[in-house]
Amino acid sequence: MHPVPITATAPDLPAPGFGILGQSWRDLAFVHWRVPPGSVAPLLPPGTRPDVHDGSSWVGLIPFRMVGAGIGRGPAVPWLGSFAETNVRLYSVDEQGRRGVVFRTLEASRLAVVLGARAAFALPYSWARMRVVEQGGVLTYTSRRRWPTPRGTCTRIVVRPGRALAPGDALAGFLTARWGLHTRVLGRTVYVPNQHETWPLQRAELLELEDALVAACGLPGVAARPPDSVLFSRGVRTVFGLPFAATRPLGNVPVTKPL
């Protein structure tokens, strides 16, 4: 089946089961590289394939601050609800045409969050020492893994946000307008939907990059070359719904126009 259209706002998803998790993603740097689809296909869950833009699939290295995470639509969990995170992600589409992301790692600075997410959603969270610092309009993100192995896997990213990105940019939409994730839970591939407002995006200049995470995720050599896209966003508030089997037929059609 062909992938569903990419839309700047979330599809009109059913209300039941929505709102199991709420959180804000703030001060995100989106650093991306083109890769051949065949190089990432073995890293995706069964029943999914690489999603492609302009003949390539993409690898994302994305550091940010998680703020105010909590259960349902209730208040944020004190202390545990705000922390630094860095993820390495791939772009997927399932046999029903749902587009998503597949996380190869989610480095986070809260051990309890790491253990909980691994247990509940089988997501590859890792515990890391992390910092996000903004000074003079420049953001510096650093991460060094504590657990599991390979311990010491690190990244340092320095970006300077620039001018706002005009709406309708096709590549930016492909990389950021993702309304769910694919993961493997108890032997089956599931889809976890999410909703949030349209991304406020800016172009960004990459000032420094030292990274070992991408290679540790099974993609050697990718981060050794200059990225093909660097974006920045001050962030959005998002809500996640209950996971469901990726084989479930599409029950809703996006009510927004494609980008």
Work out the pLDDT band at 18, boundaries 50, 70, 90. Answer: low
pLDDT band at 39 (very low <50, low <70, confident <90, very high): very high
Q: Tell me the CATH number at 201.
A: 2.40.400.10
Q: Has residue 173 got a pLDDT over 90? A: yes
Domain-embedded: residue 7: no
Domain contains 146 = yes
Q: Which pLDDT score, from 0 to 100, does residue 21 have?
A: 75
- Mean pLDDT, to the nearest integer, of 168-191? 96
**Domain assignment of residue 112, given as a range:** 19-245
Q: Is residue 114 part of a domain?
A: yes
Question: Residue 246 pLDDT more than 90?
Answer: yes
Q: What single-letter amino acid sits at 147?
A: W
Stretch among 179-183, 187-191, 248-252 having the lowest mean pLDDT: 248-252
Q: Which has more pLDDT, 239 or 156? A: 156
181: left (phi over 0), alpha (psi -120 to 50) or beta: beta
251 falls within a domain: no
Among 142-146, 164-168, 217-221, name the one with the lowest average pLDDT. 164-168
Establish if 75 belongs to a structural domain.
yes
174 belongs to a structural domain: yes
What's the number of domains the chain is made of?
1
Q: What's the confidence (pLDDT) of residue 57?
A: 98
Q: Is the pLDDT of residue 89 over 50?
A: yes
Q: How far apart are CA 102 and CA 94, in angstroms?
A: 11
pLDDT at 178 over 70: yes
Q: Could you tell me if residue 215 is inside a domain?
A: yes
Name the average pLDDT for the chain: 90
Residue 119's pLDDT is 86
Give the separation between CA 13 and CA 193, rounded to whole angstroms.
9
pLDDT exceeds cutoff 50 at 48 = yes
Does 254 map to a domain? no
Q: How far apart are CA 52 and CA 49, in angstroms?
A: 9
For residues 51, 57, 62, 66, the Cα torsion angle rounded to the nearest 10 degrees is: 0
Mention every residue, 6+ apart, whose C-beta is less than 8 A from residue 27.
Answer: 64, 65, 132, 134, 139, 232, 233, 234, 235
pLDDT confidence band for 258 (50 / 70 / 90):
very low
How much of the chain exceeds pLDDT 90, in percent? 74
> Is the pLDDT score of 81 beyond 70?
no
